[in-house]
Amino acid sequence: MLNRNKTLLLLAIMLVITLYSYFHVSYTPLSKQKLAIALFFTLITLSIYAFSKERTFYLKSNYFKISTIFVIGYVLVHFFEYLAYVVGAHDKIIDIEYVDSKYINEAAFFSCACLAVYFMGYVFEMKPFKSQKSYKSNSIFLEFFMLICLVIFYFSAGSYYFNGGYGDVLNNIGLSLPAILSQTSLQASQVAIAMIVVYNRQKKLSVIDYIKQFSFIYYFTLLLYSYLVMSSGDRGPLFQAGICYITPYFLINKIKLKPIPAAILISVSALFFALLGTVRAMDGGLSVEKFEKAQEFRSQRFEGESIVFTSTAELSNVVRAYHVLYDFTREHGTIYGLGLGNQLLGIIPGLRLLIYPLFGIDDKEVTTAVVTTNLLDKDHGMGSTCVGDTLFNFGIWGTLPIFFLFGMFVRKMDLSSYENINCLNPFWCCTIITYFMFAIYIGRGYLTSPINLLAYSWFFFLLNYKFCKTHV
């Protein structure tokens, strides 16, 4: 096992080698050999981190931590399409015709460099967030509020949305403001309730005792919401709700998720969500027959193809968004952090409409998920990637230090998750839970993907604590 100093030294060496290769392959014809080298460097970088010595007992051999989930998503998004192309599973890189292919080699090496820098920041940080006190409160108000939000969400989104119309609604008129706010408030209430459970329970809980921490209203609302989400064809909120529910159980009991159970969980989840993606594309409401038809379709559609690449395509295909952002940034320059400001302003509904006209800013030109959709000339959202978004905002030399700082930040969250989460400032407790929920999606989104939900959750918790705090 490598100690901290040796790990940092080896990661620094890999960073230098990767950056040297990055500049060496700058604007060169697409090459399987060069992509294979980038993949090899990525494997070495991952191996260095994997063999580094973890000194914190609860993080050692524990795969239920934000860093692990984030890295899995990051690798799937930024490298799996290259791997499929290099080994011959794919004849070409998806949507490569929309970019100058001479940028692909360097884009792959840059993703590897960002991963190395992230690990350096993660290993460099050694301290959790500072402890304060426990914030005990009652959650009954938030549980009723969840139910109210669900009712508002159902009626404001409309029946078509919950009958497989998720894609059509979002790609055309979009959800109404009441629907967006009610869904976000419902999710935020669930996060705030999870925080209350963490603060209220100082001792380990059995599975039965943990289940009893939540009321009938909570379970009724969550199950009905999950059913409606599945009926609509959406998948992200379903995954996030599940993570939000189980996370306090792991953190309160300081449970380690071992490699084999983690691999099984990831595999089953990937197959399930891939199946849901097929179900979403089919007409009709949610039913067992629809799932059977979806499975039959997938068996025929992907016969002879690798189950690894077909199951991870939902994430790996997003690399096309990275390519168009990389190409655009190299050709036209950065937007100097306006995208980050756009995300912060989005916390308050309507604030962008008031501020942007004063400065002549068009939010469609600073939101990378919109930019990629336009550049790829698609009629539905193409998403973004954390490297592409950061590069688009801050350029090459701004992105590398940001990933180092993000690595430090994630390390602090991982340390606090199992050391002192029940006596953290509510902001940091809320941050940890929301980052658990979004960790797998950060690779295909933004480093600040949870920021909107984080803000609402924190506000709801503080409001509830003001009026419902207890001394139990």
Q: Give the residue with greater pLDDT, 287 vs 440.
A: 440
| Inter-residue contact 81 to 114 (CB < 8 Å) | no
The pair phi, psi for residue 372, each rounded to 5°, is -65, -40
What is the pLDDT at residue 472? Answer: 47
Q: What does the pLDDT average to over 408-429?
A: 95
**Sequence ranges of the domains in the chain:** 4-130+397-407, 140-309+418-468, 318-394
Radius of gyration (C-alpha) of the chain in whole angstroms: 22
Mind listing the pLDDT tens digit for each residue in 294-321? 556 555 555 556 777 887 888 899 999 9
Is pLDDT above 70 for 273?
A: no
Is pLDDT above 80 for 279?
A: no
Q: Could you tell me which of 261, 327, 256 has the C-alpha nearest to residue 105?
A: 327
Mind listing the pLDDT tens digit for each residue in 127-179? 999 998 889 999 999 999 999 999 999 999 888 888 777 767 776 667 888 99
Q: Is the dihedral of CA 175, 178, 179, 182 positive or negative?
A: positive
Residues 6 or more apart in contact with residue 212 via CB below 8 angstroms? none
Q: Give the residue with greater pLDDT, 186 vs 293.
A: 186
Q: What does the pLDDT average to over 185-210?
A: 94
Other CB atoms within 10 Å distance of the CB of residue 285:
9
Is pLDDT above 60 for 283?
A: no
Other CB atoms within 10 Å distance of the CB of residue 126:
12
What is the pLDDT at residue 355? Answer: 83
Give CA–CA dist 31/27, Å, rounded: 11
Is pLDDT above 80 for 105?
A: yes
Give CA–CA dist 51/1, Å, rounded: 5
Mind listing the pLDDT tens digit for each residue in 206-252? 999 999 999 999 999 999 999 998 888 787 888 899 999 999 999 99
What is the pLDDT at residue 333? Answer: 93
In this prediction, residue 292 has a pLDDT band, given cuts at 50, 70 and 90, of: low
Mind listing the pLDDT tens digit for each residue in 49-91? 999 999 899 999 999 999 999 999 999 999 999 999 999 999 9
Cα 194 vs. chain centroid, distance in angstroms?
Answer: 19
What is the pLDDT at residue 378? Answer: 85
In this prediction, residue 17 has a pLDDT band, given cuts at 50, 70 and 90, of: very high
Q: pTM score, two decimals? A: 0.93
Q: Could you tell me which of 121, 46, 123, 117 has the C-alpha nearest to residue 83?
A: 46
Q: Mean pLDDT check: name the lowest of 191-200, 290-299, 330-339.
A: 290-299
Average pLDDT score over the chain: 89
The phi-psi region of residue 304 (left if phi > 0; otherwise alpha if psi is between -120 and 50; otherwise beta) is left
| Inter-residue contact 194 to 244 (CB < 8 Å) | yes
Q: Is the dihedral of CA 246, 249, 252, 253 positive or negative?
A: negative
Q: What does the pLDDT average to over 193-200?
A: 95
